[in-house]
Amino acid sequence: MLTDAQCRNATCSPDKKRARLTDAGGLYLEISPAGSKRWFWKIYLSGKESRLSLGSYPDVTLTAARKARDAAKLQKSEGNNPILIRKVEKLRATTADADTFKVTALEWYEMKLDSWSSHYAIREKRNLEKDLFPHFAARHIGEIQPIELLAAVRAVEERGALDVAHRVLTTAGQVWRYAVATGRAQRDISADIKGALKPHHGKHFAAITDPLKLGELIRVIRGYQGGPIVRAALQLAPMLFQRPGELRAAAWAEFDLDAAMWTIPAARMKRSVDGKRNGDPHQVPLPMQAVEILRKLHPITGHSALCFYGERSHDRPISDNTLRAALLTLGYGPDAQSVHGFRATARTLLAEELGVDPLVIEAQLAHAVKDANGRAYNRTQYMKHRASMMQQWADYLDKLAAGGDVIQFKAA
């Protein structure tokens, strides 16, 4: 058994790597040639020898080292790994001054920021700053109770924003899971209150899927008396059924009219940050009708980089509201037909009326079609099918506009 005097006077000769003074029960003091002294406890885990550091002498006295040894022995006897427990304690100590909800949330936000689109990042920041920080900013995240989080989310519900309430809870859940991973909280409390929120049923974009009504809409669009730029975009929207933002900001450099192909850069697609940076461009085969519309538009806007520039600047595309307003002037408000809804219109009628393979349709919609094992199909393998489908769809719209294929017969 060691004495405090032995520990105090212990040295290591310069020609040795270290010296050890053994106490009892596997405890020993290790001395370096430079004079530092550290306590260790010898431990066997899974048949292999290891050691647990118990601190430096004289900060940790002989008596304190023995108590630490005995505590570690108790942990081991209960089936725990004292070395892992010590590592967790050290990690927790590093975050002891940074375990408030706000600090944890902002740390999580910064970690995720590079993988988000700017739109998603803005939404997540708004969820935190508007609906969570006012309640929990200075609170230790591990001390917040489920009923407190429920009260914060219900405050969002009371504004009538049911969809926002569900998104705020999702944001909170991600923050709590990060807190668990970094040792700030024991568990994700958001899971406890999911069933306590009012259900939210998101609205779909309005879309006409009745062939007769679609024919009427196409005729009305072709009779649009507004400017040629908006008229061209309005005619192409149902024919090409890409996302409104992708159509509005289309650049002439993206089109090869001789090859009848529109290639949308990955950076302009609705994708993750990584998908925008490293993904393949999305190709849209152009039917003859679309090529004709674009060739007529080129003398008007071809001097600009953009196909559909706005009235105020040739360097900026027409606004989000331009096509919506055009549909509204034609008698089609947001509850009747939305610009984005042309995607649902095409998806429905291509499958139900024209019998096109849904995989081909989804590929043209730029959706990641997956197989049974969750692997995304290679969208380019459908290119011939997609080109044929796009021409078939444009021809179908012509027939509907002319009143063909939708003759209504009265029952005898």
Beta-ladder partners of 20:
30
CATH for 211-401? 1.10.443.10
CATH topology of domain 4-94: Double Stranded RNA Binding Domain (3.30.160)
pLDDT, tens digit only, all 412 positions of the chain: 889 899 999 999 888 999 999 999 899 999 999 899 999 999 888 778 888 889 899 999 999 999 999 999 998 888 888 888 777 666 666 555 578 899 999 989 988 887 787 778 899 999 999 999 999 998 999 999 999 999 999 999 888 888 888 899 999 999 999 999 988 899 999 988 888 877 765 556 788 889 999 999 999 999 999 899 999 999 999 999 999 899 999 999 999 999 999 999 988 887 767 777 778 888 999 999 999 999 999 999 999 999 999 888 888 999 888 999 999 999 998 888 888 889 999 999 999 999 999 889 988 888 765 554 444 544 456 889 999 999 999 999 999 999 865 544 344 3
| 119 burial type by CB count under 10 A (0-12 exposed, 13-18 middle, 19+ buried) | exposed
What is the pLDDT at residue 101?
93
Listed in order, the ranges of the chain carrying CATH 1.10.150.130 are 98-196
Distance between CA atoms of residues 398 and 241, nearest Å = 15
DSSP, residue by residue, 306-368: BSSB-SS-TTSBPPHHHHHHHHHHTT--TTT--STHHHHHHHHHHHHTS---HHHHHHHTT--
Q: Where is 262: in which H helix or E strand?
A: strand 261-264
Q: Which two tokens stand for residue 109?
A: 């936000």
Q: Tell whether pTM > 0.75.
A: no
Confirm if 30 and 37 have CB atoms less than 8 A apart: yes
What is the pLDDT at residue 412?
34
CATH number among 3.30.460.80, 1.10.150.130, 3.20.20.140, 2.60.40.10, domain 98-196: 1.10.150.130
Helix axes 288-301, 228-240, angle to 10 degrees: 150
Confirm if 46 and 16 have CB atoms less than 8 A apart: no
Listed in order, the ranges of the chain carrying CATH 1.10.443.10 are 211-401
